A and B are shown apart, each in its own frame.
Chain A
Amino acid sequence: MKYYPTIGIECHVQLSTKTKLFSEVDNDARGKEPNSCVSPVCYALPGMLPRLNGEAIKYAIRAGRAMNCEINAQSRFDRKHYFYPDSPKGYQITQFYHPIIGAGYVELPSGTKIRIEHAHLEGDAGKLTHFDNYSLVDLNRVDTPLIEIVSMPDIHSAKDAHDYCKELWRLMRYAKVTYGDLYNGNMRFDVNVSLAPEGSDKLGTRAEVKNLNSFRSVERAVEYEIARQTKILEAGEKVVQETRGWNDATGKTTGQRSKEEAKDYRYMPEPDLPPINLSRQFINDESAKLSMMPSDYREKFGQTISTDILEILLDYPELMETMNGIDEKHITMIANLFTSVLLAEEKSVEYLNDLPDTKKLNDLAEMNEKKELSSTATKEVFLRLFDPQMKGRDTKTIAKELGLIQENDLGALEAIVDAVLKKPETKKAQDDFRNGEEKVIGFLVGQVMKESKGKANPSAVQQILRDKLK
C-alpha cells in the first residue's frame, strides 16, 4: 500500500519590539548577561500585572497581513497553566480562544498555497540550562513577544515543509517583525507528520517533532518521520501519537520521555488584560506600512532575473528593496553582482546593514555599459561601494582613485596606438597581420593595453589597429 503524508507546522516567531510584551523592559537580550532584561512583571513578583505593549499589536497586524490573513478586530488573552521554572507566573499569557490573526495563506515559490489556520500573540518562556545536579534559569526571554503561526494540514512533502518554513521566514522579515536569526531561536518550528493510505480522506495518527530551528532540519525531520512511519505501517503496526525530539547529528527523531497522560493546561481568560479592540482604521494604517512582499518581487522581476538568482536575492529584503531603485536596463547586471560578488564576500553580512544608494549602483552599471569600466574593474568598484571608508564618494570618484577608468577617447587612443606601431618590436606582427595572419591582432592589442597601463578599452583599440593596418 502507498501512503500519503500530511504535515502541519506551528511556527513561533520572536518579535523584535523594543520592549517586552507585558512590561517596559528591554526585549533585546542579545549579548547581555543572563537575567539582566527582567522586570518585576517577568519575574512574577506578587501583585504584578501585565501591561500590553501596543507595538506588539502593530507587529502582529503586519505579520498577519504579510500572510494574507484576516486581522480580528477583537481579540483576547488567556492563561495557559503549567509548572516549570522557565515560567515564573506558572502560566503563559497566550490567545487560546480569540487570536488576533485569523485565516490566510502563504504562497510558496512553486505556486502552492498553504493555508494559515490562525496566528496568535503570546509571551515567550525563559531558558533553562541543565548541569549534573543543578539547573540554571535565565529569564531574559520571558515575555518576549511571540506570534505562533498555525498552518492547515496542506503540506504533503518534505520539500514543501522546507519551502513553507523558508517562505514564512522571508515574510516575517519583509514585514519587519523579527530579526529572523534562526541560530538564536528567533523562529522555531514544531512539525507534525501523519501518514494515511493513498486516497483515504482520513488523516493518520500524527507524531510531532518539536523545536526545530532550521529549514534543513525541518526537511530532514519530515523525511525521517515519513520513512519511520511508513515502516511501522507496512509492518501492520500503529503509529503512537507523541512528541518527538530531533537530533541533528544522528538525523533521527526519538520519542521524548514524557508522562503518558495528556497535558491539561487549564486555559482561562486572562482577567488582568481587557480585550483588544482594534478599529478598521488602525488595522488599515498598520497594514499600509507593509512594503513589497516576495510574491510581489517575483511578479516584478520574474522576467528580468533568472529564478535561481531571484530566489537567492529574495532571502535579503534589503537587497530587494534596493533592486526597486535600479534602472530597468541594469537590473540583470546588478542582480548578478549582488549574488556573485556581494554575497560571496566575507563581509557581506556587515555590508548588508548599510547598502549604498541606488544612484551609485546605477552609475556603476552605466559606466560598465559605456565601457568605461572593464568587467573586472566593475566588480572591484562595486565592492568598494560597500566599503564604509568609501562612504560619501560617488562611483566615478572611486573608479578614478583606483585608476580603473578605461581610455575611450579615440584621439588619445590613436596616439598610443601610433606610438606602439612605431616600436621596432611590433614591426613583424604588423607585417604578419597585413599578410592575413588574424591572430596577431591580439598581440598588438596587448601591447597597446600595456602602453596605456590597462586603461584603454580593448575593443576600441582593436578597431583603431584594424583601421591603421589596412
Chain B
Amino acid sequence: MKTANKTVTATKLVKDALGKAKHFKEYNIFNYLNEEGALKKAAEIDERIARGEKVGKLAGVPFAIKDNYLSPEGETTASAHILEGFTSPITATCVEKLLAEDAILIGRTNLDAFAHGSSTENSYYGPTLNAYDKERVAGGSSGGSAVAVALDIVEFATGSDTGGSIRQPASFNGVYGLKPTYGAVSRYGVVAMASSTDCMGFFTKTPEDMDLLMSIATGQDPKDMTSLPDFYEKSEVKKVKKIGVVKDFDNDSVNVEIRDALKKKTEDLKKKGYEIVELDMPTLKYALAAYYIIVPAEVASNLSRYDGVRYGFRSENSKDLESLYENTRDEGFMPENKRRIMIGNFVLSSGFYDAYFLKAAKARTLIVKEYEDAFNKCDFILTPVSPNYAFKLGEKVNDPIAMYLEDLMSVSLNLAGVPGLAVPVGKTKSGLPIGLQLVGPRRSDKALIEFAKELK
C-alpha cells in the first residue's frame, strides 16, 4: 500500500480518499466521514516527515472502520437506531494499534445493524450498493468496508466476522477479506455480536497488505481475556503440500459458476504440484443449525444492555420503566435484530436450554474435532465462500432462511475458531466477482495469507 513520504504527502492521500468517498456517495458506504480529523492528522504526519522524524508503518494511509468499532470520531452507531447519538469515549484496541502506526481514519462504514445480516440491507441507514453492480447487494454484514476497499477509496478497512461477515462481502466485491483465528485480534471496543464467534479482521487489495496489518493488529490484549498471546509473527510458515476440498460442498445448491471456479483453481494447484485431498466432513452440515442457536443466544444476551437508560436512543413515549424498555427496544432495533433476540431468548429459556443450546454446543465440539481431523489430512482447505455471488437488492430480504443459507460455508469456521481468507479468483460471465475461501488450522493465519499468493 502507498504510505506517505516527502513527495506523496499524507494530505494528498487523505484528500484523494475523501474526494473518492464523496464521488461514490450514492453507494451509501459511509455512516460518518472524518474529514476535519483526517486532514488534521495528515498535516501532522507531513510535518513530521518534513522534519525527518520517524513515522509509523502505515504513515498517512487512509483507512475506514466498520461502524461497530468504537472511537471518539463521530457517533458509533453499528448502523442501529438504538445507538443513535452515542459518541464513544473509548477507542477499540485494534483501531488504536492502527492509529499508533500513523494510519489515518477516513470514516465509519455501513453494516447490517449490529452486524446481523449478509447483505447490509438490515442497516438503519439503508443498504450499501455492490462495487460492481449498483443493483446488487454489497454482501454483509461488513458491506460498507468491502465496497470502500473495492472502489479504492481507502487502502484497507476493518471488518468483523461472526459467521462470514468479512469473507462474504469480500468475495462479493472482489477483495481479500480475512477472518483471523479466534482471539488473534482483540475484540475490545467493538460492539459485540456473538462473543464466542466474533473475530476482528480486514479487507485489503493484496495478501501483502493483509500480512502487514495482521503483524500490527494481533497480540494479547489485557482488556480482552479471550485474546491469544502473540503468535502471528512467530508462527512458522511451513511448506504447503496438500490442499483439501470438501466433498459435501460440491452440490447443486452451490452456483455452477462458483463450482467451476473452484474446480479450475484446484486443477491449477494440481499442475503446480500440490496434492488435492478430498475431505469427508459430514458434521459441517450441522454447522448452520448450531450457529443459528449459539449466535442468537449470545446476541440476545449481548443486546440486553441497549435499554435506553444510559446512552443512545430512548423512546419518548414511555410512562414507566416497563414501557421505556419495550418502546425503546421496539423502536430502536431492526426486524432482524428482534428475530435473533427472540430466537436467542427462546433457546436459552428454562426447559429448552438442554434441548437447544447445550445440543448446539455439543455439535460445535464435534465441528472443532472435524476440522482437527481434516488438518491431519491436509494443510489448508479450499472452499467457496458462499453458495452464490452477489444477489439483487431486495431478493432475499423477506426470506430469512434463504439469507441464512448464504452463511452455509462460512459459519463452521467461526464455530471452530479457525482462520479463513476470502481470495478473489475471477469473475462470472456477467462480470461479478467470485471469491474462494482458504481455511487453515488455528494460528496458521500467516501461512494462509502467504499461500493466497499462489491463487493469484
Q: Which residues of A contact B (CB under 8 A)?
A: 40, 43-52, 79, 81, 83, 85, 88-91, 137, 262, 264-269, 271-274
Q: B301 on the interface (CB 8 Å rule)?
A: yes
Interface stretch of the complex, out of B81-89, B208-216, B374-382: B81-89
Partner of A272, one of B225, B297, B306, B325: B225
Check B297–A46 contact: CB distance below 8 A. Answer: no
Partner of B191, one of A46, A272, A273: A46
Check A272–B310 contact: CB distance below 8 A. Answer: no
Interface stretch of the complex, out of B24-32, B262-270, B349-357: B349-357
Check B307–A83 contact: CB distance below 8 A. Answer: yes
Check A47–B345 contact: CB distance below 8 A. Answer: no
List, in ascending order, chain B residues with CB within 8 A of A265's CB: 350
Interface stretch of the complex, out of B55-63, B182-190, B241-249: B182-190
Check B305–A46 contact: CB distance below 8 A. Answer: yes
Q: Within residues 248 to 273 of chain B, which ones have a CB less than 8 A from any CB in chain A?
A: none
**Closest chain B CB from A147 CB (angstroms):** 20
Check A268–B304 contact: CB distance below 8 A. Answer: no
Q: B8 on the interface (CB 8 Å rule)?
A: no
Q: A85-B307, A90-B305 are in contact. List 9 more A-B contacts (CB 8 A).
A: A45-B89, A49-B223, A90-B307, A91-B304, A264-B350, A266-B348, A271-B196, A271-B298, A274-B226
Task: Give Cα A51 to B227, complex, Å.
Answer: 11
Q: Which of A85, A91, A268, A274 has the most CB of B within 10 A?
A: A268
Check A271–B195 contact: CB distance below 8 A. Answer: yes
Check B304–A90 contact: CB distance below 8 A. Answer: yes
List, in ascending order, chain A residues with CB within 8 A of B307's CB: 83, 85, 90
Task: Give Cα A85 to B349, complex, Å.
Answer: 22
Partner of B225, one of A45, A52, A91, A137: A52
8 smallest beta-carbon distances between A and B, as pairs: A90-B304, A271-B195, A266-B348, A271-B196, A46-B191, A44-B305, A47-B189, A264-B350
Q: B192 on the interface (CB 8 Å rule)?
A: yes
Q: B309 on the interface (CB 8 Å rule)?
A: yes
**Closest chain B CB from A297 CB (angstroms):** 40
Q: Please name the residue on chain A nearest to B358 by beta carbon.
A: A269
Q: B277 on the interface (CB 8 Å rule)?
A: no
List, in ascending order, chain A residues with CB within 8 A of B196's CB: 271
Q: Which of B78, B188, B309, B357 has the most CB of A within 10 A?
A: B309
Q: B289 on the interface (CB 8 Å rule)?
A: no
Q: B35 on the interface (CB 8 Å rule)?
A: no
Check A46–B76 contact: CB distance below 8 A. Answer: yes
Check A79–B187 contact: CB distance below 8 A. Answer: no
List, in ascending order, chain A residues with CB within 8 A of B310's CB: 43-44, 88
List, in ascending order, chain B residues with CB within 8 A of A52's CB: 225
Check B92–A81 contact: CB distance below 8 A. Answer: no
List, in ascending order, chain A residues with CB within 8 A of B52's CB: none
Check B309–A85 contact: CB distance below 8 A. Answer: yes
List, in ascending order, chain A residues with CB within 8 A of B222's CB: 51
List, in ascending order, chain B residues with CB within 8 A of A262's CB: 350
Q: Within residues 332 to 379 of chain B, which ones have a CB less than 8 A from any CB in chain A?
A: 345, 348-350, 353, 357, 361
Check A45–B90 contact: CB distance below 8 A. Answer: yes
Check A89–B305 contact: CB distance below 8 A. Answer: yes
Task: Give Cα A43 to B190, complex, Å.
Answer: 15
Check A45–B88 contact: CB distance below 8 A. Answer: yes
Check B88–A90 contact: CB distance below 8 A. Answer: no
List, in ascending order, chain A residues with CB within 8 A of B450's CB: none
Q: Which residues of B contact A (CB under 8 A)?
A: 68-70, 76, 78, 83, 86, 88-90, 92, 187-192, 194-196, 222-226, 297-298, 300-301, 303-307, 309-311, 321, 325, 345, 348-350, 353, 357, 361
**Taking chain A's interface residues, is the majority helix, strand, or loop, or is none over half, making it mixed?**
loop
Task: Give Cα A45 to B68, complex, Å.
Answer: 12
Q: Which of A91, A264, A267 has the most CB of B within 10 A?
A: A264
Task: Give Cα A262 to B350, complex, Å.
Answer: 10
List, in ascending order, chain A residues with CB within 8 A of B325's CB: 83
List, in ascending order, chain A residues with CB within 8 A of B90's CB: 40, 45, 47-48
**Closest chain A CB from B305 CB (angstroms):** 4
**Closest chain A CB from B65 CB (angstroms):** 12
Task: Give Cα A18 to B89, complex, Å.
Answer: 25
Check B348–A46 contact: CB distance below 8 A. Answer: no
List, in ascending order, chain B residues with CB within 8 A of A49's CB: 187-188, 192, 223-226
Check B70–A47 contact: CB distance below 8 A. Answer: yes
Check A45–B353 contact: CB distance below 8 A. Answer: no
Task: Give Cα A268 to B353, complex, Å.
Answer: 9
Task: Give Cα A269 to B70, complex, Å.
Answer: 25
Task: Give Cα A264 to B298, complex, Å.
Answer: 16
Task: Give Cα A271 to B417, complex, Å.
Answer: 13
A-B contact pairs, 13 of them (CB 8 A): A40-B89, A46-B306, A47-B187, A47-B188, A49-B224, A51-B222, A79-B301, A83-B307, A88-B309, A264-B350, A267-B353, A273-B226, A274-B225
**Closest chain B CB from A280 CB (angstroms):** 23
List, in ascending order, chain B residues with CB within 8 A of A274's CB: 225-226
**Closest chain A CB from B3 CB (angstroms):** 29
Check A46–B83 contact: CB distance below 8 A. Answer: yes
Task: Give Cα A51 to B90, complex, Å.
Answer: 16
Task: Give Cα A43 to B90, complex, Å.
Answer: 13
**Closest chain B CB from A124 CB (angstroms):** 17
Q: Please name the residue on chain A nearest to B190 by beta carbon.
A: A47
**Closest chain A CB from B266 CB (angstroms):** 36
Q: Please name the residue on chain B nearest to A50 by beta carbon.
A: B225
List, in ascending order, chain B residues with CB within 8 A of A273's CB: 225-226
List, in ascending order, chain B residues with CB within 8 A of A137's CB: 309
Check A266–B350 contact: CB distance below 8 A. Answer: yes
List, in ascending order, chain A residues with CB within 8 A of B353's CB: 266-267
List, in ascending order, chain A residues with CB within 8 A of B189's CB: 47-48
List, in ascending order, chain B residues with CB within 8 A of A85's CB: 307, 309, 321
Instruction: Report if A272-B226 is in contact (Cβ < 8 Å); known contacts: A40-B90, A45-B311, A46-B83.
Output: yes
Check A46–B70 contact: CB distance below 8 A. Answer: yes
List, in ascending order, chain B residues with CB within 8 A of A264's CB: 349-350
Check A268–B357 contact: CB distance below 8 A. Answer: yes
Task: Give Cα A271 to B348, complex, Å.
Answer: 14
Partner of A268, one of B78, B223, B298: B298
**Closest chain B CB from A101 CB (angstroms):** 21
Check A267–B348 contact: CB distance below 8 A. Answer: yes
Task: Give Cα A89 to B224, complex, Å.
Answer: 17
Task: Give Cα A50 to B223, complex, Å.
Answer: 8
Q: Please name the residue on chain A nearest to B221 by beta carbon.
A: A49
**Closest chain B CB from A399 CB (angstroms):** 57
Q: Please name the residue on chain B nearest to A82 by beta carbon.
A: B304
**Closest chain A CB from B187 CB (angstroms):** 7
Partner of A90, one of B225, B297, B301, B350: B301
List, in ascending order, chain B residues with CB within 8 A of A51's CB: 222-223, 225
**Closest chain B CB from A325 CB (angstroms):** 42
Check A46–B78 contact: CB distance below 8 A. Answer: yes
Check A47–B350 contact: CB distance below 8 A. Answer: no
